[in-house]
Amino acid sequence: MEELLGCWREAQRADKVADGLLKIRATLDLEFYDQISAVLKEVETTSRLLRDLYDLFPIYRSRVPIIVYYLHVILPSLCRTMKEMMLYIGHENLPARAQWTLMSDRLSQQGGMTLAARFVMHVELLVQLVRLLSRSPLYDPTSLELLRLRHLRLRKLQRIPAPPVPVHPHAAKAHSTEADFERRHWAEKIFDEPPHSTTGLRHRRESQCFGPPMTETRLGIVSGSKALCKLPFDKNHLSVTVFLGPDAPDMTRLLCRWIDQYNNPMYSCYGVQELCIRRKGSSLQFRRWSPTRHNPTIWLALFFKTWESKSSFWWAPATGCCSEWRPKEMSLTHQSESPRWMERRSKHRIWLKDIRPYVFCDTYKKRHQFRKDGEFEIYFVNEEGSSFSL
């Protein structure tokens, strides 16, 4: 479908706009830094969301017709905006200051909103489309309708005709309840609720998929599959989507999308039962069996920015996303550097201060380990355990 390729093309165009804005920001004084940064942030987010949509298309192919109309609404307007921006960014005879001020002033005259506000509007609509496509409980049909009307007004100011309304309009579902939100699979929640503190990793390189590239029929994606989480790497130039098939609810598959040397999207997909996962430094390495070499060969190397994100992603595919296995971690703050952070209360019990559990388990109860003043209690079966911790 042309709309699907349109998402990819506009993501590439957004990358070029972002590169141009970075060059202008580096040239100009600090006076313009915040203004350019506000636009740059939304342009980069637009690129990421367009690729998010593209990455979800193979998994939710049967639902793509639902969002086609909305893509017809946003893509021409977004394309026109970025083309007009490139006229100024790519104008070699204009100094950087004139490039920015002319572009910002003239585009802000359309619709009476700043350039940053226009991209915020684009981002908000793309967020709702990602949620609509993936059946997210966070999808808000009211917000989508309001954003649709705002985009149609902008199109009119841009002199872009409104797209034809679908014969069978999408029927908005009822608002999701809190119970719907809580019933999500833990692997869906784990990256929506990041830990309170993170530990940076060093020695990172670009993540890489070594293939082989697969056609759509070889990906093995069955209609009715459900995406659990998606992680972008290197500004979404490579992504990995963890999903479950409808017939094997505990059998996880990994869909990797990367960009070849000609900027074309390539796909490769394997089930966790076909992979060996190894932790190495700041990376996770996935090996598959090579039928031609008759030995394991590397399929995917993912480099993470934080220890927490690496551990969380390790849990998702490594456990098969089974409901019986859920990650349990503890977030430590700077208080752990204090000698009073840990206190031994008995031969088997120690108390820790300022601990924040990062747990995705229905049976876990915080009150079982937290005292009335907020201390976190650990009970050791053997006395040696509590002595060693001190």
Where in the sequence is the domain holding 219, given as residue range(s)? Answer: 208-318
Q: Which of the listed residues 298, 318, 338 is the one where a domain comes to its end?
A: 318
pLDDT in tens, 4-48: 789 999 999 999 999 999 999 999 888 889 999 999 999 999 999
Q: What is the CB neighbour count within 10 angstroms for residue 219? A: 16
pLDDT tens profile 295-314: 899 999 999 888 777 877 77
| Structure-model confidence comparison of residues 115 and 370, the more confident one | 115
Reference 350, options 379, 315, 388; nearest CA is 379
Nearest by Cα to 199 from 329, 48, 361, 370:
329
The more confidently predicted of residues 328 and 378 is 378
Domain-embedded: residue 87: yes
Whether residue 102 is found in the same domain as residue 13 = yes
Following DSSP, what letter does each residue of 225-277 receive, concatenated?
Answer: -EEEEEEEETTTTEEEEEEE-SS-TT-EEEEEEEE-TTS-EEEEEEEGGGEEE
- How many domains is the chain built from? 3
Claim to verify: residue 212 and residue 267 sit in the same structural domain: yes
Instruction: Report helix, strand or coil for 62.
Output: helix
- My answer on whether 150 and 114 are in the same domain is yes
**16 and 150 both lie in a single domain:** yes
pLDDT score for 322: 42
Q: Is the dihedral of CA 179, 183, 184, 186 positive or negative?
A: positive
Answer yes or no: is 250 within a domain: yes
pLDDT number for residue 323: 41
- The model's pLDDT over 36-68, given as tens digits with 9 standing for 90+, comes to 999 999 999 999 999 999 999 999 988 888 999
pLDDT of 173 above 70:
no
To the question of pTM greater than 0.85 for the whole model, the response is no
Together in a domain, 167 and 287: no
- Count CB neighbours of 309 within 10 A: 19
Do 12 and 104 fall within a single domain?
Answer: yes
163 lies in some domain: yes
Is the distance from CB of 151 to CB of 110 less than 8 angstroms?
A: no
Give the DSSP H/E element, type plus range, for residue 352: strand 349-352
51 plus 125 within the same structural domain: yes
